[in-house]
Structure 1
Amino acid sequence: MSKYSIEQFIRETKQDDAENDYFELETPRILEVNLTEQVWAKAGSMISYNGQIKFEREGFLEHGVGRFVKKAMSGEGSSLMKATGRGSLYLADQGKKITILELDNEEITVNGNDLLAFEPGVDWDIQLMKKVAGMMSGGLFNVKLKGRGKVAITSHYEPLTIMVRPGQPVITDPNATVAWSGHLQPEFRTDISFKTLIGRGSGESIQMEFKGDGFVIVQPFEEINTSGERGK
């Protein structure tokens, strides 16, 4: 059989029916959710499904008035959808690499653009970095997740995890920062000299500074938000 035949292509790329975890990576950039009840996912991330699955966009007050107000203040387009039913659901986000993390009574904060899906047992809340609202378009919209269950996050290309140690702060570019330990509280600062080195056209360079004990996940890519400006 030719290595370029359709039969060979199907053999190499077809879904693996033997997998049955709630979250499975069908490919590095496609997440399979073996749905039995419900899952929260990024709106617009569904690429295929089979079975009896119903999709609903997140209701205005579904998670309480407080979260709705914070979403309205953030001005971000990172809405969630709820998939309910039984079947196989396939999710992806612009070809970004997907990483699955299983929380065991732990916390992680994820950039709003980089959260793909999470199991219903995971609690979440919205965090708007108000201090940078005047520095970056709309500020930074993040989601803090905690509890037990799997979380799927995305990154452009391979992510890198940098450990944060007491007395050894880690500085990152907000546009390349994907997630960090839930208990860390990043501080924001500007550095005009750094802007000169990297040749940005206008505005001051904004940096995130992480202090304490934990980790921060970065990607080798500066994300562009929906308004066309740099920032997430």
Structure 2
Amino acid sequence: MCAISVQDFVRSKAQNNAANALFECENPYLLEVNLNGRVWAKVGAMVAYTGRVKFTREGMLEQGLEKMLKKMVTGEGTALMKAEGQGRVYLADKGKKVQVLQLNNDAITVNGNDLLAFQDGVQWDITMMRRVAGMLAGGLFNVRLSGTGMVAITSHFDPLALEVLPGQPVFTDPNATVAWSGNLNPDLHTDLSFKTFLGRGSGESIQLKFEGQGWVMLQPYEETVMQANSSAGA
């Protein structure tokens, strides 16, 4: 028998009132932000809040002319919003799993569609890859985050982190690549043949190539450009 009383159901699903860190995972798919000031989050990610909180979409020139131009060049599709005030804010993104990472004067690069939120004070910038790489990767863009503070990223299902070692490059599907260490700069790797142009290739002709020393995080899911744009406009 799987039925339980309403009271027991509410009790079993209640929030953790003892949580007081800035970012807390209420469950694998829901991020709680204990807000006292300001954080940045993906537009459309708020599912609930308590307290006195104001949400403001990022202005076109708020982060400077250079970042605005990069967004225009890369076709960036995920907008950011500010959550300011005091209270609790709950964030989620289409049932994707949430991972909270603590930066300690270091850097990571995140697929723009997989960035959920980050602490105010963390520095961010849009990384410029080759234009053709952006098109072949489904029009997705990347965000470099650096400094000290919390960053929340999302993935479809449980992610996998692969170590990148000198002389042992790692090749990944761009649509399954979530994040990587900030010291790595992936290059576009193609394995094109005559069969590819005839539509008889393996479908795995375009990859990202990671060389050096670091890590790259993958999800067991290939996010298409249509899904990415849908998520950005949620």
- The match for 2:99 is 99
What amino acid does structure 2 have at the position aligned with 1:21?
Answer: A
Q: Are positions 1:5 and 2:25 aligned together?
A: no
TM-score by length of 1: 0.91
2-side partners of 1:154 and 1:106: how far apart? 19
Equivalent-residue separation in structure 2 for 1:212 and 1:118 (angstroms): 27
- Paired residue for 1:49? 49
Shift in CA distance, 198/48, structure 1 to aligned 2, threshold 3 Å:
farther
Question: Is the 8 Å Cα contact of residues 53 and 83 (structure 2) preserved in structure 1?
Answer: yes
- Number of aligned positions between the proteins: 225
State the partner residue of 1:32: 32
Mapping 1:1-232, distance limit 5 Å: 4-130=4-130, 131-138=132-139, 140-192=140-192, 199-200=202-203, 205-226=205-226
How far the C-alpha of 1:127 sits from its partner, in A, is 1.2
1:165 Cα deviation from its structure 2 partner: 0.5
After superposition, the C-alpha distances for 1:34-76 in whole angstroms (9 at most, x for unaligned) are 0000000000000000100000000001111000111112223
AA aligned to 1:86 is: Q
- Deviation of residue 198 (structure 1)? 7.4
The CA distance in 2 between the partners of 1:85 and 1:6, in whole Å, is: 33
Q: Matched residues in 2 for 1:198 and 1:85: separation?
A: 53
- Kindly state the Cα deviation for residue 30 of structure 1 after the two structures are TM-superposed: 0.2
Shift of 1:7: 1.0
Deviations 1:175-223 (A, max 9, x none): 00000011101010111369689743xxx72101100010000000000
Pairwise CA distance, 1:133: 3.7
> Structure 1 counterpart of 2:136, which letter?
M
- Code of the residue aligned with 1:60 in structure 2: it is M
Which of the pair has the greater relative contact order for Cα pairs under 8 Å at 6+ separation?
A: 2
Name the SS for the 1:36 alignment partner. strand
Q: Equivalents in 2 of 1:72, 1:56: separation in Å?
A: 21
TM-score, normalized by length of structure 2?
0.90
Q: How far is the alpha carbon of 1:128 from its aligned partner?
A: 3.1
Summarize the Cα distance change of 1:177–1:100 in structure 2 as closer, same or farther, 3 Å threshold: same
Cα distance change on mapping 1:197 and 1:23 into 2, 3 Å? farther
Output the aligned Cα RMSD. 2.2
Taking every aligned residue pair, what percent have the same amino acid on both sides?
A: 53
Whether contact under 8 Å (2:137, 2:174) holds in the other structure is no
Does the aligned pair in 1 maintain the 2:171–2:208 contact within 8 Å? yes
Q: Write the distance in 2 (CA, Å) between the matches of 1:209 and 1:137.
A: 17
- Could you say what secondary structure the match of 1:68 adopts? helix
* Counterpart AA for 1:149: G
* Structure 1 stretch displaced more, 152-161 or 65-74: 65-74
